Amino acid sequence: MTENSLFDLSGRVALVTGGNGGIGLGMAKAFIEHGASAAIIGRSQAKLDAAETELSKIAGSDSVLAAQCDVTDRDSVSSVLETLVGRFGGLDILVNNAGVNRRADEPHLLSAEDWEYVIDVNLTSIHTVTSLAFPYMKERRRGKIINIGSMMSIFGTAYAPAYAASKGGVIQYTKSCAVAWAKDNVQVNAILPGWIVTEMTNQFKELFPDRHAMIVGRTPAGRWGQPADLGGTAVFLASSASDFVTGTSIPVDGGYSVW
């Protein structure tokens, strides 16, 4: 057994939703660096093309698949999964990362349309993608499912009630699947990112300078995270190192949730 064999993903196939940027792309990079093949899906073709080029530089284009997909559309997801399995022969790792946010000053001011949109993308799509992906894992008698929550899985917020509700639901859905599929040797866990610099948050400092300063002050690490900070935890949960870990949620937040 080599020193890094527990974290070796050689021969494994990963699917990362929202993998064409931010946290999703950071995790896809980590998987490929540890030997896996990776499929990334998203809605923006331009971002997919750029991400595919970036990932292909790590291990070659044969290890990468980028496909346009709407995770709220069951037929779209099913088509991507068929393409992925046809290309790579199966599926071992699923990361449910796609997410959106809509804000209002207070919960009652959030429109019904914004509520439904956030819940559909952040929570309902996880059920859709996972339900379609699980049979491929069951067939292989192994699988790793990683659902991406948030600090809002733990804390409420006045200005993003749908986002907080959806991310709280991610934890309970993770536990439900973990209990159901332990018999199939499929582990299901969640990562709860802290405040990470992504396209969704890169204007936060300018828009909310006081809150940005509060977040940095509360975070023991003294900074916001970068997408690469999620890579190690993602590889752990995707590898044999976590075969006896299921149903748990791991904050990757520089200590923000400790306080």
Query: Of the residues 136, 163, 173, 256, which is catalytic?
Result: 163
| Rounded Cα distance, 177 and 86, in Å | 26
Q: Confidence class of residue 4 from pLDDT cuts 50, 70 and 90? A: low
**pLDDT (mean) for 141-163:** 96
- pTM of the model as a whole: 0.96
Q: 68-88 as b/e, with b when 16 or more CB fall inside 10 Å?
A: ebbbbeeebbeebbeebbeeb
Q: CA 130 from chain center: how many Å?
A: 12
159 noted as active-site residue: no
Specify the range with the lowest mean pLDDT, choosing from 17-26, 208-217, 220-229: 208-217
Q: Is the dihedral of CA 250, 10, 229, 125 positive or negative?
A: negative
Interstrand relation of 143-148 and 186-193 (parallel, antiparallel or unpaired): parallel
For the domain made up of 5-199+227-253, give the CATH fold.
Answer: Rossmann fold (3.40.50)
pLDDT of 200 > 80? The answer is: no
The reported pLDDT for the residue numbered 259 is 84
Which tokens belong to 49? 């093309």
Strand segments (E) across 61-126: 64-68, 93-96
| Rounded Cα distance, 180 and 185, in Å | 10
| Rounded Cα distance, 84 and 61, in Å | 14
| Rounded Cα distance, 46 and 214, in Å | 35
Rg of the chain over all Cα atoms, to the nearest angstrom: 18
Q: What mean pLDDT, rounded, does the chain reach?
A: 95
Q: Confidence class of residue 203 from pLDDT cuts 50, 70 and 90? A: confident
**pLDDT (mean) for 9-24:** 97
| Rounded Cα distance, 76 and 104, in Å | 31
Q: Name the residue ranges covered by the structural domains of the chain.
A: 5-199+227-253
